[in-house]
Structure 1
Amino acid sequence: MTGVEGLWPHNLSPNRLAVLERKLVLWLQEQPLPADIHEMALHYNSHEDLQLLTQKAAAQGCHFADLQTTVQGVISAKTDNFLDLAEIAGLNPLEDFADAKLLGANLRGLTLSGAKLTNAYLRGADLSDIDLTCSDLRNANLGGADLSGALLSDADLTGADLHRVSLALANLSGSNLTNVNLEEANLSNCNLSDANLSGACLKNADLYQAGLALTNLVNVDFTGANVKEARLWHDSGISDEVKADLIHRGAIFDEKIENIKRD
């Protein structure tokens, strides 16, 4: 075994590849290997890094026979469902995918409420209609991902990269979006009530008919954003100047609402 090519083929689906790479990383953490290999396993950036990692592990006398059995189980599975593949690999989808590489993965419609996905790499992933309520997505990279219709209420997305993400019809009520990059994101008809958007970048984002009641908007950058028919009520952090500008651009500040019900 000279590298990753000795463990699995190259033409795997994004779901199988994500599960196998995560299994390899966590499996290596359990092996009696030098600290530098453990560190490299946690912070690899590419397929080439993984190849070098497995070569180093093999040179240290690491035997991959037991892992290979699990790998073959994932490769030969008759399903591409992420949860099923994770179970075959002996992984907990709510606990084991923080820092994981999930490029282009298909998690559409899954229930992952409370999942720990800090620093996860989810660029281009299909997360439409997913349930990620109360999940930890701090510093996750979700650039270009499809989160339309997703449930993200009370989730922590502090510092996450959501550049060009689709959050149309998504529910982010009560979520923490501090310092999030939402540049060019689609937030049309999105529920952002009671969310914390302080320091967020919303440059050229689409907030058409979005709901922002009771939202923290301290230092939010609305440059070029479409705020037509976006509804705001008792939002904190908006100066009179910013409020006037948003109204001029089509936002609605509804001071008559007496009761706000979160979905």
Structure 2
Amino acid sequence: MTRVEGLWPHNISPNRLAVLECKLAIWLRSQGLKSEVKVENLQVLTQKAAAAGVDFSQLQNQIKTIIEAKTENLLELADFVGLNPLEDFAGARLLGVNLTGLDLSGAELKGAYLRGSDLSDADLSNADLQEVNLSGADLSGALLSDANLTQADLHRASLALANLSGANLSGANLTEANLSNCNLSNCNLSHAILKNTNLNQAGFALTNLTGADFTGANVKQARMWHDAGLSEQVKQDLIKRGAIFEE
């Protein structure tokens, strides 16, 4: 679904669409529709509200505000309709949004769908990104220190030059992701999937690597220092593939 039929044009930008869908979901809850509101059933719930005679006039005014806004900044768009982007986008559909350079530190984004989004140079420190879908997203240069990325899907995401110090990536899918020159110090990468991941010149210091899968990963010049959870066999294999263990 790319829009809710009749409420807004089909050709609006990803940022405007994300704000409108989130606003609609929250508004429907306020109308007494107690079913869990997800993007995939917004159409059905909107039709139910219309059939029940719910007045959409106030919502339509806010939709118009977003459509006619002179900005693409998601934080500004959210503010126009009374959304708090640090709290209201958990579980939201944010497909292909542009969040470049935005301050989202501490944001609650658990379960959000951010596939293909641009978060380059964004501040996501201390953000809750559990189970988030960031497949194919651009997080190059992003600040993700102390972020919770447990079970996150980062398949083919770019995290080049990103700072993930202290982040929790346990169980995360980083298959074919680009983590070159990434700071992974003091991270929890236990049971993370790093198959065919680019870890060239990435920095690992005091990192929990218990059960991490390095199959096919590029570890050339990856710097390791007092990391936990690596067997001697895995350590020797990583050394043969170009990793540098500093004592």
TM-score range, shorter chain: over 0.9
Q: TM-score, normalised by structure 2?
A: 0.97
- Tell me the equivalent position of 1:80: 72
Residue 145 of structure 1 pairs with residue 137 of structure 2: yes
Answer yes or no: is the 8 Å Cα contact 2:39–2:93 preserved in 1: no
Q: CA deviation at 1:59?
A: 1.1
Give distance in 2, aligned partners of 1:161 and 1:32: 33
State which of 121, 128, 134 in structure 1 corresponds to 2:126: 134
State which of 210, 222, 225 in structure 2 corresponds to 1:218: 210
Could you report, residue by residue, the CA deviation over 1:244-263 in whole angstroms, capped at 9, with x for unpaired residues?
Answer: 000000000011xxxxxxxx
State which of 216, 227, 232 in structure 2 corresponds to 1:240: 232
Q: Which runs of 4+ in 1 moved over 6 A?
A: none
Q: 1:35-184 alignment to 2 at 5 Å?
A: 35=34, 38-39=35-36, 41=37, 43-45=38-40, 49-184=41-176
Give distance in 2, aligned partners of 1:84 and 1:147: 21
- Tell me the equivalent position of 1:259: none
Answer yes or no: is the 8 Å Cα contact 2:21–2:39 preserved in 1: no
Q: TM-score, normalised by structure 1?
A: 0.91
- Tell me the equivalent position of 1:11: 11
Unmatched tracts of structure 1, length 5 or more:
256-263
Q: 1:182-197 alignment to 2 at 5 Å?
A: 182-197=174-189
Answer yes or no: is the 8 Å Cα contact 2:39–2:92 preserved in 1: no
Give distance in 1, aligned partners of 2:204 and 2:156: 20
Query: Secondary structure, in 3 states, of the residue corresponding to 1:26?
Result: helix
Counterpart of 2:135, as a letter, is: G
Could you report, residue by residue, the CA deviation over 1:36-93 in whole angstroms, capped at 9, with x for unpaired residues?
Answer: xx32x2x333xxx332221111112221111111110000001111111011111001
Task: Among all aligned residue pairs of Structure 1 and Structure 2, give the percentage whose two residues are the same amino acid.
Answer: 68
Could you report, residue by residue, the CA deviation over 1:162-187 in whole angstroms, capped at 9, with x for unpaired residues?
Answer: 00000000000000001000000000
Give distance in 2, aligned partners of 1:68 and 1:216: 50
Counterpart of 1:29, as a letter, is: R
Give distance in 2, aligned partners of 1:157 and 1:213: 18
Give distance in 2, aligned partners of 1:19 and 1:115: 15
